Chains A and B, each alone.
Chain A
Amino acid sequence: MKIAVVVFPGSNCDVDLYEALHSVCHADVEYVSHRATSLAGFDAVMLPGGFSYGDYLRSGAIARFANVMPAVVKMAQEGKPVFGTCNGFQILTEAGLLPGALKHNDSQRFVCKTVALEVVNNHTRFTSKYQEHERIQLPIAHADGCYVASEATLNQLEEHHQVVFRYADENPNGSLRNIAGITNERGNVLGMMPHPERAVESLLGNTDGLRVFQSLLANGSVKA
Chain B
Amino acid sequence: MKQAMTPEEIKERRPYLDWSLTEKEYNYIADKLLGRLPNFTETGLFAAMWSEHCSYKKSKPVLRLFPNKNARVLQGPGEGAGVVDIDDGQAVVFKAESHNHPTTVEPYQGAATGVGGILRDIFSMGARPIASLDSLHFGELTDATMQRKVANTVKGIGDYGNCMGIPTVAGETTFDPCYQGNLLCNAMSVGLMEQQDLQSGVATGVGNAVMYVGAKTGRDGIHGATFASADFSDENATQRSAVQVGDPFMEKLLMEACLELIHQHADWLVGIQDMGAAGIVSSSAEMAAEGHSGMELNLDLVPQRETEMSAYEIMLSESQERMLLCVRRGHEADVQAIFKRYDLDAVTIGRVTDGHDYVLYHDGEKVCDIPVASLTDDVLEEPSAEREPARIKAAQQAPVWQPVIDNPGQMLRRLLAQSTIASDEVLTQQYDTQVRTSTVAGPGSDAGIIRIRGYHKGLAMTTDGNGRFVYLDPEIGGQMAVTEAFTNIIASGAEPLAITDCLNYGDPNDPEIFWELHHSVQGMATACRVFDTPVISGNVSLYNENNGQAIYPTPMVGMVGLIKNLDHVIPSFATHAGDLVYLIGTTGDDYAGSELQKMLTGTIAGQLSPINLAKIRDAGHRLHEEMVNGHVSAAHDVSEGGLGVALAEMLFDAATGMNLNLRHLTAAQLFSETAGRLIVTVPAAYQAAFTVTLGDDARLVGQVTNTHWLELHLQDAELNENLAELAQQYKEALPCQLKSKD
A residues contacting B by CB (< 8 A) are 9-13, 15-16, 19-20, 23, 49-51, 53-56, 109-113, 139, 141, 143, 195, 197-198, 200-201, 203-205
Q: Which residues of B contact A203 (CB under 8 A)?
A: 440, 451, 566
B108 within 8 A of A: no
Q: Which residues of A contact B451 (CB under 8 A)?
A: 203-204
Check B434 for interface membership: any CB of A closer than 8 A. Answer: yes
| Interface contacts beyond A12-B436, A110-B158: sample of 7 additional A-B pairs, CB < 8 Å, sorted by A | A9-B256, A12-B435, A51-B252, A110-B155, A111-B430, A198-B437, A204-B438
CA distance A139 to B435 in the complex (A): 10
CB contacts (< 8 Å) of A111 on chain B: these are 429-430
Number of A-B contacts (CB under 8 A): 87
- Could you tell me if A204 and B165 are in contact, using CB atoms closer than 8 angstroms? no
Chain B neighbourhood of A54, CB < 8 A: 163, 247-250
B119 CB → nearest A CB, Å: 13
Residues of A within 8 A of B19 (CB): none
In the complex the two chains form, is B440's CB within 8 Å of A13's CB?
A: no
A204 to B169, CA, bound (A): 13
Instruction: List, in ascending order, chain A residues with CB within 8 A of B434's CB.
Output: 112, 139, 141, 195, 198, 204
Residues of chain B within 8 A of A204, CB atoms compared: 434, 437-440, 451
Contact of A10 among B158, B159, B163, B433 (CB under 8 A): B163
Whether the pair B430, A10 counts as a contact (CB closer than 8 A) is no
Task: Report yes or no: A51 in contact with B437, Cβ–Cβ below 8 A.
Answer: no
Q: Let me know if B252 and A109 touch, CB within 8 A.
A: no
- Classify chain B: how many residues form its interface, as a range: 20 to 34
State in angstroms the CA–CA spacing of A172 and B469 once bound together. 40
Contacts of B566 in A (CB 8 A): 203
Report, nearest first, the 5 A-B pairs whose CB atoms are least far apart: A12-B165, A54-B249, A16-B437, A51-B163, A141-B432
Question: Is the beta-carbon distance between A112 and B437 smaller than 8 angstroms?
Answer: no
Q: Mark B233-257, 1 if CB is under 8 A from A, else 0.
A: 0000000000000011110110010
Chain B residues, CB < 8 A from A23: 453
| Contact B436 A16, beta carbon cutoff 8 Å | yes
CB distance from A30 to the nearest CB of B (A): 18
Enumerate 21 A-B pairs (CB-CB under 8 Å) in ascending A order.
A9-B253, A9-B256, A9-B342, A10-B252, A12-B163, A13-B435, A15-B437, A16-B437, A50-B165, A51-B248, A53-B249, A54-B163, A109-B430, A110-B155, A110-B158, A110-B430, A111-B430, A112-B431, A141-B432, A141-B433, A143-B162
Contact B249–A141 (Cβ < 8 Å): no
Please state if B436 and A51 are interface contacts (CB–CB under 8 Å).
no
B164 within 8 A of A: yes
Which chain A residue shows the least CB distance to B441?
A205
- Whether the Cβ atoms of A112 and B249 lie closer than 8 Å is no
Nearest CB of chain B from residue A50's CB, rounded to whole Å: 6
Shortest Cβ distance from A199 into chain B, in angstroms? 9
Q: Which residues of B contact A20 (CB under 8 A)?
A: 437
A residues in contact with B436, CB < 8 Å:
12, 15-16
Closest Cβ–Cβ distance, residue B111 to chain A (whole Å):
14
Most chain A C-beta atoms within 10 Å of own C-beta, residue among B247, B432, B440:
B432
Chain B residue nearest to A15 (CB atoms) is: B436
**Of listed B247, B437, B566, residue having the most chain A CB within 10 A:** B437
Given A10-B249, A111-B430, A141 contacting B435 (CB threshold 8 A)? yes
Assess the B165–A13 pair: CB atoms within 8 A: yes
A141–B162 Cα distance when bound, in Å, is 9
Could you say which residues of chain B place their CB within 8 Å of the CB of A198? Answer: 434, 437
B438: which A residues are within 8 A, CB to CB? Answer: 204
Residues in B with CB closer than 8 Å to A197 are 437
Chain B residues, Cβ within 8 Å of A51: 162-163, 165, 248-249, 252
Residue picked from B159, B342, B436, most chain A C-beta under 10 Å: B436
